[in-house]
Structure 1
Amino acid sequence: MERTDRQRVIVLGASMAGLLAARVLADQYAEVLVVDRDDLTGDDADKGHRDIRRGVPHGGHLHNLLAAGLLALEDLLPGITEELTANGAVAGDGTAHVRWIVNGTRMPKPHSGLPLLSVSRPHLERRVRGRVRALPNVTFLERTDIAGLLTTPDRTAVVGARIVRGDTETDLTADLVVDATGRRTRTPAWLAEFGYPEVEEERLTVNVGYTTQYYRLSEDRMADEVSIDIGGSATLPRGALCAKVEDGLAVVTGYGIAGDYPPHDTAGFHDFLKSLASTDIYDVVHDQETLGKPQSYRFPANLRRRYERMNSFPGGLLVIGDAVCSFNPVYGQGMTVAALGATVLRDHVSRPGTVDPGGYLADLAARAVDHVWALTTGADLAFPGVGGEPSEEQLAEYAYLDQLLDAASRDGRLLVAYARVAFLLDPTDALVTPEIQEAVARASNRAGQA
């Protein structure tokens, strides 16, 4: 329900985080302005993977919406899953329709009930943007740059933003400004300019490089599957994912960690796929029709800004999405964290009174970031050459996880338990309950007796 005592909110950036933020803000503010430097027209033109906008240079690569993110997205935009599947997205079960290969071993395919939706990032973003654009109180200011923030004279509150369109600079006042401009956000610099303390940052260098190629598969390839996932390991820090998407296409993204970058020519890319712990993806695609040239992208480091630890923070300003934390894209967590963050934002803006930035930022960290950051950086530290050394506790966790995954190759219930953690539905503690540990021990004993 619209809150007429809250007049205007400005969302900086039409990223997935910005779009979902605008969706929840539209219920509480009379006017929502979404500012983005890109041309966002043509939302209804289904261009598939070709519609890669300047602000998302990695948009053509494979993006995952994990089960937790899909459920959150459906909560925020009811009916979006049906809309996406009606327009070509491929749905299935998160374990039954995935060929999951760990340490070269094919895992079982138990039915889990975990939702799976495979769609290209441009197609997903376009559909979400169309739903948000249709809201009567949301306006997109496209081809517009953000020059800075407006504050009260004492700098204790943000009261708007200065925007530039063409040669025209305009000051827009607002009750709230939400920064969804991504990893390159200028909020830390703006805060320093206003006299606030430096934002603490945590960084873990991973030097991930990935290459993506699109294919048109014959009907006999992956007939009963949505995707194939070949994971990298400490001994072979490279992997790949192959997923069916809209328009009858399949997208393959191969990745390498700590500088082990895949080539960006088709022949070299196929050689890379052949070199993985399993040749399953190579066997599926190497003789199929390729569409366009391979695309490559590099990601230097996991980066987290600890806004929740600041002793002072201006009123009227919130931050969301990659502007808070950007994760190694190998694990496909970014869009899911953006959706979870939007649900946190919804909870805070629906409360009466002025939104408390400190409370929101602390809640965002606790509910949408902490667990994923620990999961991602913990997994990355297992790879030699990553910037950091695992602790003794983490080494013990790696050993147990290897044992669990080995047991899961013989017990589908363990794979479902692992998938629920990987898909951000359950905490990592769910893998060390007495029941799970007993199942791991039983499966390991059976393997030893075989």
Structure 2
Amino acid sequence: MKKLYPAIPLLILVLLVGSWGVHHFAQRRLEAGIADFRASLGPGATFSYATARPRTLARGAHFTAVTYHNPAMTLVAADVRLGGLTGNNVQGEKIGSIVLRDVKVMTQDSTISLDQVALGNLVMPNTARVTAETARPLGFDSLVLDTGTFTNLHLAIPASQTDVTIGRMTIGQYGLGRSSHLDLEKLATQINLTPTRRIAVEHIQLDGPDFASEVASLIQSGHLVHERHPQTMDLKKVEIASTHPMLQIDHVTTSRFSTETEDKMDTNLTNLTLWSTGTDNPSILNAFGYDHFTGNIHVNSTSDRSAGHVHLEPLTVEAPEMGNLSVVAELDQIPFDDMAIIPETARIVSAAMTWEDRSLASHIVAGLARSRNTDVETYRQGLLAMLATSDDASMRAMGRFLQSPQDHPLQIALRPMKPVNLMMLGVALSMAGDPSVAAPLGLTISTP
């Protein structure tokens, strides 16, 4: 044992020299990596920091007071830690983990701030310059990310006076061809225009979409790609409000399965409440004598994208205060690439509806009486007498329904000679007693 004592100082010296050598090598490699990164930034871009220290075996680094700037945006982070650096010019730079604290991203139109960004197994695109001998470098849409967590995100867009906050957002399996996962907690949006609008969702979960392919499609064509991944969406506690509550939904679930041309979707809305916008801006609820709607909605649909066709089987609405509706329908001219114009283009090919009434019928009769400045009971009795003596079977069925709504569910069938525009359905139903209208629409009304 005594013979080992003289070797101990030598061993310590070797360790000290070795650790200094490893640190020196790591520092040199870090400086070389920073130089290469700066050289690849392109015109008008800069990268600066207060301190930079290498991590173990030159496989990572710790930066403080980082600033990255290019003509389009500026990114500032108080602290950046990278680990597990590997990769090459062909496959792109691989980062095992990267954590940024106190982050702010500023563009001409918006500012984003976050408490922390934590990314795992990130593959950065190859940013080598394009030459005749090399392939075009990968774009932002070609990032690959196994996991990403974003904490306390705040987005401000001054031009539209919009603020968005997210308590926590997690994305998983981002990359071309991957089925991704997105999880958001406490999403809140406020639009400070007049009138103010507030949108809040307690929790959002998406599984299945290929987010990277969607980004690539938007960059290349401006349109979203049609995906064939099975997808699910789950939302909890959705709220929209202004100076008063406007909409609340306890729970929304959607599942979707797609082929090249067909989509099958199943959607449930649980405890949906819609409020009237008030007497200063009356809605259809006001016209029927209600100040809100509460109910559950279930939609099961099959869409043929190539034909612009949708089959509903069924659409059900269960409203304890008003009644229950069930609809089976065929629609065409559905603009899948621009769903905002559905009311203008969609047509009804055929439809069958069943209404089980609880209070809606009496509210409608009362509203019609008020619009004619007539006593409600007097108007009701006159209407029942007119329907009972009608030569049209559909009108007599309507009379039986209005006489005792709870005992006679109303069944309406629509089989027009040619498809009718969706927006014209209300007009068509209001003229159901006119044979010149009802016959071309194939409109029949019955009660069981």
The structure with the largest helix share of the pair is 1
The structure with the largest strand share of the pair is 2
**TM-score relative to the length of structure 2:** 0.21
**Higher relative contact order (Cα pairs below 8 Å, separated by 6+ residues):** 1
